[in-house]
Amino acid sequence: MNKGKLLAIFIMLGAMCPVMTSCFDAREVDDMGFVIALGLDKGKTNALRMTLQIAKPMAGDNGGGGGKDDELPYAQFSVEAPAIYTGLNMINTFASKQISLTHIKVVVFSSELAREGLGPYLRAMIRGREFRLNMPIVVARSTAEEYLKSVDPKLVLNAAKFYELVYQSYRYTGLIPKVEFHDFYLAAESNCRNPVAILGNSGRFLTAEDFDIDNSTFREHGRSAPFEGDFLAGDIPGVGGARAENIGLAVFDGDRMVGELDGTDTIIHLLCTGDFVHSYWTVPDPLSEGYYVLIDVKQSRKPRHHVEIVDGDPVIHITLNLEGDLLSVQSAVNYEVGENSLTLESSVESLVKEQVSRFLDKTISEFKSDICGFGQHARKLFTTWAEWEAYQWKSKYKDATYTINVNFKIRRPGLILKSEPSISSEGRSDDR
Amino acid sequence: MECEHRVDIKKRIKNLLFFHEPRVERPFILTEDSEAGKYDPGTDKGRAGPESKKNEDLLLKKVKKIKLTKKKESPADEEKSDISKQLSENLNVIEERFSVPLNGDLIIRKFDITVKDSVIPAFLVFFDGLVNTKVINDDILQPLMLLSNLDFKSDRDDVLTYIRSHILPHNQLKEARTHQEVIDMVFFGGCGIYIDSLDVAFVADVKDFPGRSVERPNNELVIRGPQEGFTECLRGNTALIRKRLMDQNLISEDITVGRRSKTPCSILYIRDIANSSLVAEVRRRLKSIETDHIMDAGELEQFIEDNPSLPAPQIIATERPDRVCAMLTEGRVAIIMHGSPFALVVPITNSDIIYSAEDQYLRFPYSNLLRVIRVLAVLMSLLLPGIFLAITNYHHEMIPTDLMLAILSDREKVPFPSVVEVFLMEISFELIREAGIRIPGPIGPTLGIIGALILGQAAVEANIVSPILIIIVAVTGLGSFAIPNFSAGFAFRILRFGFIILAALSGFLGITVGLVLMGLWMVNAKSFGVPFVSPVAPRTTGGFSDAVFKSPVWKQEKRPDFMNTKKKRKQAHISRGWVNRGASAQQSDSGNKNE
């Protein structure tokens, strides 16, 4: 290689340097403020009030002091702005670090905003590459600011982990729906199903003396006392941990919120969509009045949906397949074998059937919103997309009728193979 | 004038930007049909120039020295003789050539041989220290001086034959016809014997170099397997190989390298396995070296490798005879150089540099575990700091939030950008490493502790680097130590800095670009005609029994395809005869007969 060529190559390399200025967007981690939760409320002075929770550097790992238990692991900022990105800009004027949304764990809307329609915000979020597509969407019954303020994680060191874990609890309680932002957006835009959001609120009660069940929905379910799911967010009689409660779901029609459902209905919703994993159910004892049987219920297989159009109206057939393990038989009735177990199974089946039909009635007549996505199973009945669009499923859903088929089997009795009543000086408890 | 200049620039730019027909080069490529040009020593002799042949002839003769003494010399050799029949002339020549008054360690011992009634003057010439004096005393001087006047039984005229066949009982005796020959041998531990009235000189091989005995290999340690390493002695090294590889077709060709030093080297191969054109290529490259002195196999490696700029080594240097033997049986060629305890083995592929000799001796699940760990080690040593930089500078969304917050709080107090941090730590790590090698023995381990613990700890406490970076650099360092090949370790250390810069410039994009470029570099390279990344690219069958993962020993039936060996199969399709019950029944029949 001659000298001239070498020189020319160096000149070309030099000329290429500007091409490599991609490092201009390099940012050190410690130069960024990572938003872990974003709350959106209706603003007082502007369209939006944005609340940002920004993670603080991990407390307690420097210097071994760590005696700041009362200090929150995040800093909360609020600003009023016309739109999300405007708000980010404004917060950057008084937050020292550049705001980054790449680690955002949850977006909370106030129900007031949700009832007006979330379209504008959803579209901003889906376009921005920093919003994670798998983050959950929460609707706070009061305001998002208050909800976020009441997040004070007791069991984990940082709030990000709290959010990561708490919205996964549908896997073992079934009391909140499974919501991911991307899916939420798709459902809101879809013509065959409607989205739901997690219903959240800060708890009403500060001490155990204040407990009441005035707002519980147990009467709607025809019960004498509230079961675990018979509450909406904020009404659970409980204290400790974070005051932010998540139970139930917010029903949407398109991008507008139209109603709320409690925890029990959320379980049914999960059953119908097939996202149910397992949870503990309280079932009234069919043979012994006043006692309960506790069952760990799983889906043995995904629900089967079949939709017909009869005289222009949809008819939905649902088959749910469930199985359960006995957790507790308070009455000591021998439900493990034979006739008794069949009795228990059929009683659970009728109970589920009753709950599902109540839930479907509610979505059909009250909310007129297909949140279970039955429309997806109706599409195949139409030969062209135009015909399907012309049918307008979402508006026909209010005229839908349904049949429900539930199969429930008791699989395992737990560690006790045969229930026996306890024996006291007065004889066996069931002889008394 | 200016116009001309402009035209020149124009031409230059044109040259740079437009397509040129590449210059047709014919590099050596090892192919299957290269067997056609089989090596025939006779034709080879004819091809090479007479001057370069001289040394080789000398060595060839050396190989056959015992044979040569038995048969008559060819007339061609006799013509060259420049040894005078006058002893005094020879003495003068020798004294002049060895600069006798100046050279203190040259011994010239004059004596007389009494053959029957006549007295023939003679002298010995050798270097003190290179030879075994006891052998000279007992096997050369004693018979010549004392036993020569015993009874004559054969024709007394031919003193030469008589001395060779009756008087000198030494086992390695050859006749030299030129002074140069004698001198070369004397330098390699020979003892020249000049006898009056003979125009040939005898050279007895009585070498006894000071040197190490066979020790454990220092750099390639294994837990299972032989614990012998090469030493600095050529013959000792070839003996270590012959001791293991008892194959009648194992050839150890002698060749000298260095115009002045005439360092003896051996090319080892198994004649009916190794591709002849490969052997010829090795021989051609070694012969073509025109340099005065060559000291070590490391130098030799640089003279004969294909791509001097490729970071990865293209020749395996090993100090383990067993490893050389294993590679010879695969059809490779080994080069051993006098004075170097490392044997060079060619050709190699990229997977060879992550192999250890031990892999073959361990059961295959174990060695596969080690291989996986070594691949991980390579990746870590090459990419870990780069990936760390890319993630912390560009791709914050890729790390779990908890980890990110931990990094964030660690970096909070550090005043430098992370790329400076990485360079600081990497450079100090390299410093510790270099210092550790150079420092006198007893202090070495202490320095390691100072470097690793105190420096790292202090740097963290002084908030100069973040603790997570210490982990990164430490793991990277461990990774580079886990690479079995010393040279490859260097390659990855150098490339690592490239990846750090690329990652700092443009994150994963940079790393990707770097990996692509490196891949291109690698697939383009060849080691003695074998593509460097075979058997992956070009993909060949049969090379995979020992490519990245290793099959059980009994399944490695064929030699690597890319070696294009003369014999493909190295063991039977069913190498464990006992698993075949039908066959074993037959065998047991014959077994019964034996009983």
Query: Which stretches does DSSP call E strand in B381-504?
Result: none
Q: The tokens of B124 are what?
A: 């010995």
SS3 B431: helix
Question: So what's the pLDDT on residue B67?
Answer: 47
Tell me what ipTM this predicted complex has: 0.82
Peptide bond into B535 cis (omega under 30): yes
Secondary-structure percent of chain B, ordered helix, strand, coil, rounded to 5? 55, 10, 35
Let me know: does A343 contact A286? Beta carbons within 8 Å: yes
Model pLDDT, residue B448: 72
**B120 three-state secondary structure:** strand
Q: Does pLDDT of B56 surpass 70?
A: no
Lowest mean pLDDT, pick from A258-272, B59-73, B120-134, B431-445: B59-73
Specify whether the CB–CB gap between A304 and A390 falls below 8 A: no
Under the banding of pLDDT at 50, 70 and 90, the label for residue B48 is: very low
Confidence band of B157 (pLDDT split at 50, 70, 90): low
Beta B201-205 vs B190-195: how paired, if at all? antiparallel
Cα R_g (chain B), whole angstroms:
31
CA distances from A383 to A47, A186, A192, A193, A259 (A): 44, 23, 15, 19, 34
CB contacts, 8 Å: B403 with chain A:
none
Candidate from B16, B411, B509 with C-beta closest to A30: B411
Which chain B positions have a beta carbon within 8 Å of A25's beta carbon? 394
Please name the helix (run of DSSP H) or strand (run of DSSP E) that holds residue A322, with its range, or none: strand A313-329
Q: Quick one: pLDDT at residue B188?
A: 85
Nearest CB to B417 within list A28, A105, A130: A28
| Residue from B29, B56, B23, B37 nearest B289 by CA | B56
Distances (CA, A) of A104 to A86, A126, A269: 17, 13, 27
Cβ-Cβ contacts under 8 Å for B153 (sequence gap 6 or more) = B166
Selected residues 126-165 of chain A with any CB under 8 Å from a CB in chain B: 130, 132, 158, 160-161, 164
Domains of chain A by residue range: 32-57+72-276, 278-422
- pLDDT, tens digit, for every residue of A319-361? 999 999 999 988 888 888 888 899 999 999 999 999 999 999 9
**Mean of the per-residue pLDDT values for chain B?**
82
B232: helix, strand or coil:
coil
Contact (Cβ atoms closer than 8 angstroms) between residue B347 and residue B30? yes
In which element (H, E) is residue B119 found?
strand B118-127
Quote the longest CA-to-CA distance of chain A: 111
**How far is residue A100's CA from residue A52's CA, in Å, rounded to a whole number?**
11
Instruction: Give the pLDDT mean for B89-108.
Output: 87
Interface contact flag, B394 A25, Cβ < 8 Å: yes
Residue range B363-375: mean pLDDT, rounded: 91
Is the Cβ of B405 closer than 8 Å to some Cβ of chain A? yes
pLDDT computed for residue A271 by the predictor = 94
Share of chain A above pLDDT 70, in %: 94
CB distance B505–A5 less than 8 Å? Answer: no
Nearest-by-Cβ selection for B402 from A5, A27, A158 = A158
Eight-state DSSP code of residue A111: H
Q: Which residue of A has its CA nearest to B417?
A: A28
* Residue B176 bridge partners (DSSP): B201
Please give the share of chain B, as a percent, with pLDDT higher than 70: 86
DSSP for B13-46 reads: HHHHHS--PPP--------GGGGGS---HHHHHH
Amino acid (one-letter) located at B53? K
Q: Please report the residues numbered 64 through 103 in chain B whose beta carbons come closer than 8 angstroms to any beta carbon of chain A.
A: none
Write the residue in B396, B407, B504 that is nearest to A100 by C-beta: B396
**H or E stretch at A352:** helix A338-361
Using an 8 Å CB-CB cutoff, list chain A residues near B512. Answer: none
Note whether B529 and B281 are within 8 A (CB). yes
Q: Which two tokens stand for residue A256?
A: 């507008």
A16, A20, A30, best to mutate vs chain B, most B CBs in 10 Å? A30
User: Which of the 8 DSSP states describes residue B128?
Assistant: T
Q: Give, as one character, the DSSP assignment of residue B350.
A: G
A 5-64: CB under 8 A from B: 5, 8-9, 12, 20, 22-23, 25-30, 32, 34, 36, 55, 57-58, 61-62
Asked if the peptide bond before residue B531 counts as cis, ω within 30 degrees of 0, the response is: no
> In this predicted structure, what is the pLDDT of residue B70?
44
What is the DSSP secondary structure assignment for residue B525, as one 8-state letter?
A: -
CA angle A306, A310, A312 (to 5 degrees): 115
Contact B396, A32 (CB under 8 A): yes
The domain spans of chain B are 33-63+211-348, 64-205, 376-531
pLDDT tens per residue across span A200-212: 999 888 888 888 8
CB atoms closer than 10 angstroms to residue B389: 29
Q: What average pLDDT does chain A have?
A: 88
CATH 3.30.300.210 fits A278-422, yes or no: yes
Cβ B12–A4 below 8 Å, yes or no?
yes
> Are A297 and A310 a contacting pair, CB within 8 Å?
no
Q: Find, in chain B, the residue whose alpha carbon is nearest to that of A27.
A: B393
Between CA B41 and CA A285 the distance in angstroms is 100
Distance from CA of A196 to the nearest CA of B (A): 26
Closest alpha carbon to B470 in B408, B426, B516 = B426
Residue showing tokens 């000291």: B295
Confidence of residue B154 (pLDDT cuts 50, 70, 90): low
- Averaged pLDDT for residues B317-334: 93
Q: What is the pLDDT of residue A414?
A: 84
Question: Do residues A271 and A179 lie in contact, with contact meaning Cβ atoms separated by under 8 Å?
Answer: no
